[in-house]
Amino acid sequence: MFIYKGKGDSFDDPIIIENVSDEFFGIKAMYRYIEQNFGVQGKDWKLVSQTLICHKDRWYDILVIQLSNGEEKKLHFDITNYYEKW
């Protein structure tokens, strides 16, 4: 069971996913978070971009999604705990 902390709207308050052991489950958990909060991919939202960034010695996956109403959301996921772990 994944545990999500943070709002994800900035580097100062990223979404941190707990109970993730490696990148495979980390990616799965990110998309599960988005679907739980924004609906079904391809229907309620689509992925615009995904960028890996190192900021202040932490690794982040920044996902920009576009909602079905045209609004874009930028989500900051802190992936440091499971980045490059397979």
Answer yes or no: are the C-beta atoms of 10 and 76 closer than 8 Å.
yes
**The tokens of 10 are what?**
């900035």
Indicate if the pLDDT at residue 36 is higher than 90: yes
Q: What is the pLDDT of residues 60-77, one digit of tens each?
A: 999 999 999 999 999 999
| Residue 16: per-residue pLDDT | 98
Is the pLDDT at 23 greater than 80, yes or no? yes
Cβ pair 35, 41 in contact under 8 A? yes
Nearest to 79 by CA among 32, 27, 31: 27
* Sequence spans of domains, the chain: 3-78
pTM of the complete model: 0.93
Write down the number of H helices and E strands in the chain: 1, 5
Count of alpha carbons within 13 angstroms of residue 14, beta-carbon side:
18
